[in-house]
Amino acid sequence: MDRSEFLKLLAFAFTSGASPLPSPTGSPAPASDKWSECDVSPALPYDRPLGLNMRVLDGPDFDLAKYRGQAVLLNIFATWCGPCNREMPYVIEAAADYAARGLAVVGINSSEKDDTVRAFRKRYGITFPIAMDADGSFVTALEVGARRQSDLNFPVTLFVTPKGYLYCDLVGGVGRAELRYRIERFLAASAGEIKL
């Protein structure tokens, strides 16, 4: 299954004709509209919420269904990935800053040993849960033609609406301003679904 087929299974809530949202207050507008783009499947909408269950590093199992009513940012990373290391402080900051507005952040690590991920968590002071994709099957399914761990692109960020639908996905690391801009747009789009 390639990445586009996998994303179709994840069930998007948006329609392809959705109108763009205005620039949120307090977030810098991008120089171009590239920050407004998400990797969205052209075949929309789908009517099934995303289901995802994984073991969590040193915590109760992750079940995305338990996050219904909250906007969720899933940050898929590997400890050896340079862009993941550069992006992680911004993800941690966003997790703290946007929690009161209903955003839950969950990390997903691909195919690494628990002790390796524990050391990464300690180095950055990560407080959000880290789900463990032990065999890499979830992450591999996101990538087109990826056969080996070294072929995968990291990080990947998935934005899941409070009703459990995938809003969009973002492949590659982002800076602080872009991440916050995307989160603001995502929260504004999800506002009608959030139950605080």
Average pLDDT across each block of 10 residues of the chain; the chain has 196 residues. List them in order.
Answer: 44 30 43 55 49 90 92 95 97 97 95 96 98 84 56 83 86 92 91 60
Predicted pLDDT of residue 181: 93
C-alpha–C-alpha distance, residues 184 and 192, integer Å: 14
Predicted pLDDT of residue 97: 97
Predicted pLDDT of residue 143: 62
Give the angle 60-62-64 at the CA atoms, nearest 5°: 145
pTM above 0.75, yes or no: yes
